[in-house]
Amino acid sequence: MVFKIVSLILQVSLLGFVGAEPSFKKDLEPFLKEHCVRCHGKRKQKGDFRLDELSRQVGVKDAPLWHEVMERISSGEMPPKDEFCLLYTSDAADE
C-alpha cells in the first residue's frame, strides 16, 4: 500500500498537476530515506544509481531518472523483498 502511494506521488509530480502539489520533503523524502537511500545514496550506490543526487524538482529536472524510480517502485522491483521484509519484521518487534 505504501509503495502504491509513493508511486502515485511520483506520477503526479512527473505529470505536473497544478493545485495541492505533493511536497517532496513531506511526502516523498521520508519514503526514500527509509527504503532507498541506504543502497542508492552517498555511501553505497547499488547499480551505480544515486537517489541523493537527483533533483528534488520531480518531473522538472531529472525526469527520465525519476520515471525509472517510479517504474521500479510501481512494479514491485524496488525496494527488494528482503528490504521490505526486514522493515516489517523490525516494525512487528517494536509493537
Phi first, then psi: give them for residue 18, nearest 5 degrees.
-95, 150
pLDDT, position 9:
66
Average confidence score pLDDT of the chain? 77
Grid cell locating 46: 547499488
Report how far residue 36's alpha carbon sits from residue 84's, in angstroms, rounded to the nearest whole number.
11
Range of 2-6, 21-25, 34-38 with top mean pLDDT: 34-38
| DSSP secondary structure of the chain | -HHHHHHHHHHHHHHT--SSPPPIIIIIHHHHHHHTTTTBSSS-BGGG--STTS-SSTTTSSHHHHHHHHHHHHHT-SS-HHHHHHHHHHHHHH-
Between 91 and 59, the more confident residue is 59
pLDDT, position 94:
40
User: Considering the entire predicted model, what is its pTM?
Assistant: 0.63
Across residues 78-92, what is the average pLDDT? 61
Q: Which domain holds residue 47?
A: 2-94
Q: For the chain, how many structural domains are there in total?
A: 1
